[in-house]
């Protein structure tokens, strides 16, 4: 099981050092898009 332990340790090490940009964590550009989308759904024209 030494190879498996080494493999798991390498995965854990990589996971701790790697920064992955999650879809909800994209910054100002994403926030602006979401705000724009929410405004469109709220301000509907009435007949």
Element (H, E) at 2: helix 2-17
Predicted pLDDT at 5:
92
Instruction: Name the residue ranges covered by the structural domains of the chain.
Output: 21-47
Please list, residue by residue across 23-35, b when 16 or more beta carbons sit within 10 angstroms of its beta carbon and e when fewer do: eeeeeeeeeeeee
- Binned at pLDDT 50, 70 and 90, residue 33 comes out as confident
DSSP, res 45? P
Binning pLDDT at 50, 70 and 90, where does residue 42 land?
low
């Amino acid at each position: 099981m030494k190879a498996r332990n080494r493999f798991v340790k390498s995965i854990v090490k990589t996971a701790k050092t790697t920064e992955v940009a999650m879809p909800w964590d994209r910054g100002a550009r994403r926030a602006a898009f979401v705000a724009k989308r929410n405004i469109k759904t709220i301000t509907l024209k009435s007949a």
